Amino acid sequence: MNLALERGRAWMVMGLVLLLAACNSDRPEPAEAEVPSAGLRLRVTRVATHPFLSRYRLTLQVEGSQGCTDTAELFPDTGYAGRRNLYEQASGAMTLLGQYDARVIDRTHCTIRLVEFQSLVGPSKFVGAFDVDAQKRWQFFPASLRPEQPFEKH
């Protein structure tokens, strides 16, 4: 009888550990990109909004070398649509392009503005991407480590 009770407790503890491991943490996960040519530092912070589903709030913060800053809420990641590609435009502006939204960052004033969905105007250079790695950790991948990945049309 004691052995059965001990096994039952062991299974409960293992089940609880597995359940907690499966839960998303609501702890902010920042990823940063330094773009010296634009004089900008960009940070996209991901925060889980559901304990079990892949749902995240994304916030963009921009800091300029001259001290200016701006922050904007991005379209949320509602299920594996969190990747944001970063481009430097020929005009000097930066574009952060997602599956469902695009933001243009003015490097002189650090302003962030929403532009037409998947909009890249003129020639641009891929700088990198904010995305998850193989272990599902949020980070920035420079173009030298990961080539540009296009977004799939749904």
Q: Tell me: the pLDDT tens digits for 84-108? A: 999 999 988 999 999 889 999 999 8
Burial letters for 99-110: b for 16+ Cβ neighbours within 10 Å, e otherwise? bebbbbbbbeeb
Mean pLDDT on 8-35: 67
125 contacts: CB under 8 Å, gap ≥ 6: 87, 88
**Distance of alpha carbon 144 from alpha carbon 117, whole angstroms:** 26
Name the residue with tokens 């904010």. 130
pLDDT, greater one: 89 or 14:
89
Q: pTM value?
A: 0.81
- Give per-residue pLDDT as tens, 102-136: 999 999 899 999 997 666 777 899 999 999 999 99
| Nearby residues of 54 by Cβ (< 8 Å), 6 or more positions away | 24, 77, 79, 80
